[in-house]
Amino acid sequence: MRATTIHGVRDIRYTDVPDPVIAEPTDAIVRVTAACICGSDLWSYRGDNGPIERPRTIGHECLGEVVEVGSAVRTFRVGDHVLVPFDHCDNTCPACVAGYQSACVNHATTTSGQGEYARVAEADGTLFSLGGAPARDEIPDLLALTDVMATGWHAAVMSGVRPGGTAVVVGDGAVGLCGVIAAVELGAERVIAMSRHADRQRLAREFGATDIVASRGAEGEAAVAELTGGVGADYVLECVGNDAAMRTALHVARAGATVGFVGVPHGVEVPIRLLFDTNVGLKGGMAPVRGYVETLLDLVRAGRIDPGRVLDLALPVERAADGYRAMDERTAIKVQLTY
């Protein structure tokens, strides 16, 4: 098959690779019909995940049609149109039952979601049936549910957002913008988006943010303090993953608040003494997409949320390298790859 592959720092190609095959009886093979590039893919693209020893496929957000199933798969059959949560789970182990499918004992992730075919482990527990081929105008929203909308939702849930109070969202990428959607939908009375980019500020406002803080570091923290009367935020969503974002998140939280963190950690050092002194909590991690997808799809189809708007550029999958470049240079928030 053909697939998007990474060969080195900022070296993305669309090349021939072996077709995925059924490796376990619980697997399924999905023909990818739509995909997108994730902000977390940029960590590898920029070389922040260490050296790339050999070319490999990349991409973990996709929709598709089931073309083959393992002998133990009972829920899905060839021809089913499905949404593929990026983190695979059996949905039956103790972690899954507790609502943390991303910590499943049989956890796996999509590895060729920007190719022609993808192998899905634990198909019965992972895949979500769309009940038929999706309409073209529904595809961006559905793609957002495979990762970024569920991840932004997870940040809001982990921070404890409930009706009333103030939420601060640190980060204005696709996940941060989806975090704004989540904080609004879960009832935060005030939502402060920390963003330095005018196009993302506008979208955050349209998603329901009541305030924008365009500065970072100490200056940004001071701006949040001023907006909250010196108290700090009741809920904080950390949607970046670097040390500066984490420190900002912890410093803008009021005493006793919780920071919900979903940014993939890179170089983060948690200041335990600060948490001890302020009773600020830290909770989060990889989003359990399969646990949220049904709720989120209901919200999309009811017209309550429209996370697909974070996909602001569409390119043929053969031009994936251009999509990575656009996201790296911040000329696009999130790129949809068309088939």
Q: Distance (Å, rounded) from C-alpha 260 to C-alpha 169?
A: 10
Judged by DSSP in three states, 328 sits in helix
pLDDT at residue 94, as a whole number: 98
pLDDT score recorded for residue 337: 98
The pLDDT value recorded for residue 13 is 98
Q: Is there a contact between 122 and 116 (Cβ–Cβ < 8 Å)?
A: no
Q: What pLDDT does 41 receive?
A: 97
For the chain, what is the radius of gyration of the CA atoms? 19
Phi-psi region of 131 (alpha: psi -120 to 50; beta: other; left: phi over 0): left
CATH homologous superfamily of 151-284 equals NAD(P)-binding Rossmann-like Domain (3.40.50.720)
Report the candidate in 220, 257, 219 with the shortest Cα–Cα distance to residue 235: 257
- Write the DSSP string, 167-186: EEEE--SHHHHHHHHHHHHT
CA 260 centroid distance within chain: 14
> Beta partners for 115?
3
pTM: 0.97
Residue 247: phi and psi, rounded to 5, are -65, -40
Q: What is the pLDDT at residue 258? A: 98
The pLDDT assigned to 327 comes to 98
Beta-ladder partners of 36: 61, 336
Listed as ranges, residues in the chain with pLDDT below 50 are none
Residues 239 and 46: their CA atoms lie apart, in Å, by: 18
Q: Which pLDDT value is given to residue 128? A: 98
Residue ranges covered by each domain of the chain: 2-147+288-338, 151-284
Measured between alpha carbons, how far is 224 from 163 in angstroms, rounded to an integer?
20
Protein fold of 2-147+288-338: Quinone Oxidoreductase; Chain A, domain 1 (3.90.180)
Of 81, 171, 191, whose CA–CA distance to 129 is shortest? 81
Residue type, 217: G
Summarize pLDDT for 266-320 with one digit per residue, the tens: 999 999 999 999 999 999 999 999 999 999 999 999 999 999 999 999 999 999 9
* Identical topology for domains 2-147+288-338 and 151-284: no
